[in-house]
Amino acid sequence: MNAPVKALTIYEVASLEAAFTAQIQEQESLKLDLSQLEELDSAGVQWLLALQARKARQGCTLYLSNISDLALEALKRLGLSAVLNIETQGEGHA
């Protein structure tokens, strides 16, 4: 997705799902820019995990890039920072 995601909450997940489904049918890798993420709830975390699993079944890797401190801290507390593909500064993927 080209634009940074500002919120991953129950209010945004449906529209994000529709946008991603239309854009990412046959990509080998996908970057989700979380640099401007200000809100994250359990629905957003669930969507990230479901999107990653779905893309993995299609042979695609989901990368969370430029992850905000808020998102990184939340994912660490949930024990998911090792499960999701988080790009750190200087890393790059096609």
Structure tokens at 13: 């997940």
> pLDDT for 35-75, tens place per residue?
899 999 999 999 999 989 988 888 888 899 999 888 899 89
Work out the pLDDT band at 93, boundaries 50, 70, 90.
Answer: very low
Span between the terminal Cα atoms of the chain, in Å: 13
Query: What's the whole-model pTM score?
Result: 0.82
Maximum Cα–Cα distance for the chain, whole Å? 32
Residue among 29, 35, 26 nearest 7 (CA): 35
Mind listing the domains of the chain with CATH numbers? 7-77 (3.30.750.24)
